[in-house]
Structure 1
Amino acid sequence: MKETLLFFLQGIPEMTGVIAFSLAIAKIPINWGKTILVGVIMAVLSYVLRSLSFFFGLHTLMILFLIMYYISRSGNVHIVKSFLVTFAGAITLGVLEYATNTTFFLLTGMTQEDLTYNQILWATLGMPQAILIILLTIIVSRVFKPEQKGF
């Protein structure tokens, strides 16, 4: 139960951030209520897919495909553009995760192996990149003014 809650503590903000960031760089207005709802749904789907006996990482590919499909259909953008912005959102999250984790390990002297025994710290370590991608989304959405009506 604790592991599930910790997954969602990190997963929901990250999914919401990736979706919102993808919408922002696609120049689609962000309806935060819908974006958070889709982020919750994607986090739940990710958890379910991750729990199944597929090979490691398949849940990530499936969720990215679903986000791409969602942006394409709901944002009324070409599937190629949807793929590119979804991929850019995932890469941005990965870069932010690398930067925040590296900074944390440098400041604390801990290693990734140290965190495998502390699930709470591991889950909360995911919060800075989730917050950063949401802040970056706000900045990007102000710089790249939405071209569409939104959804």
Structure 2
Amino acid sequence: MCDIINIPFIALLLQGIPEQIAVVTLAFVIARIPLKWEKIIMSGIILAFVSYAVRIFTISFGLHIILLIVLLFIALTWLGKGDLSLSLIASLLSFLALVIIEFVCLSLLMPVFGVTPEKLFPNLVIRIVITEPQVFLIFICAFLLNKFMKRGGKYELF
């Protein structure tokens, strides 16, 4: 991830907030907490702003992820009234899913669009367009997992 200069406020609104709302949604599903959208949206917005603010400071790369995992864990246990161990697992797995899905999407979409990392970060429009599919994939994973879990773990999806 880059420093705050490379993360304009519009990127926070169009990329950061939706991404964090998707991660929180997935965490709620994994933690088996009912999807309360006002809590999910509020938590996602807070996580996105915390991530944005932490990047202002010159701290070690990746420290914001650890902070976000802790804050998500707190949101799951406090706001969602989730089980402690399941909330911790959900926090870790949700961010792991984000990292994996982001890696796969960027690895596939950057060559398709002929974009290199050097072109991606300075071009806000391309960066937002290429990173939006990962948000949709995280939401799709959350909703499919939720549907699967509601059916008692049976393999029928529809």
TM-score strictly above 0.5: yes
CA shift for structure 1 position 46: 1.4
C-alpha contact (below 8 Å) 1:19/1:35 kept by paired residues? yes
Which residue of structure 1 lines up, in the alignment, with residue 22 of structure 2? 17
C-alpha contact (below 8 Å) 1:11/1:43 kept by paired residues? yes
Which residue of structure 2 lines up, in the alignment, with residue 6 of structure 1? 11
Which residue of structure 1 lines up, in the alignment, with residue 156 of structure 2? none
Q: What number of residue pairs does the alignment pair up?
A: 147
Deviates more, 1:10-19 or 1:73-82: 73-82
CA shift for structure 1 position 146: 9.5
Q: Does 1:88 align with 2:93?
A: yes
Q: Does 1:30 align with 2:51?
A: no
- Greater RCO, 1 or 2 (C-alpha within 8 Å, sep 6+): 1
CA shift for structure 1 position 86: 0.8
C-alpha contact (below 8 Å) 1:20/1:35 kept by paired residues? yes
Which residue of structure 2 lines up, in the alignment, with residue 136 of structure 1? 141
Percentage of identical aligned residues: 27
Q: Which amino acid in structure 1 is aligned with residue 35 of structure 2?
A: I
Q: Does 1:101 align with 2:106?
A: yes
C-alpha contact (below 8 Å) 1:21/1:133 kept by paired residues? yes
CA shift for structure 1 position 45: 1.5
TM-score computed with the length of structure 1 as normaliser: 0.86
C-alpha contact (below 8 Å) 1:16/1:36 kept by paired residues? yes
TM-score computed with the length of structure 2 as normaliser: 0.83
CA shift for structure 1 position 33: 2.5
Which residue of structure 1 lines up, in the alignment, with residue 132 of structure 2? 127
Q: Which amino acid in structure 2 is aligned with residue 79 of structure 1?
A: L
Deviates more, 1:30-39 or 1:83-92: 30-39
CA shift for structure 1 position 117: 2.9
Q: Distance in 2 between matches of 1:112 and 1:53?
A: 22
Which residue of structure 1 lines up, in the alignment, with residue 60 of structure 2? 55
CA shift for structure 1 position 111: 1.8
- RMSD between aligned residues: 2.1
C-alpha contact (below 8 Å) 2:28/2:90 kept by paired residues? yes
C-alpha contact (below 8 Å) 1:18/1:89 kept by paired residues? yes
Point out where structure 2 has 5 or more consecutive residues left out of the alignment.
Answer: 153-158
Q: Distance in 2 between matches of 1:146 and 1:90?
A: 25
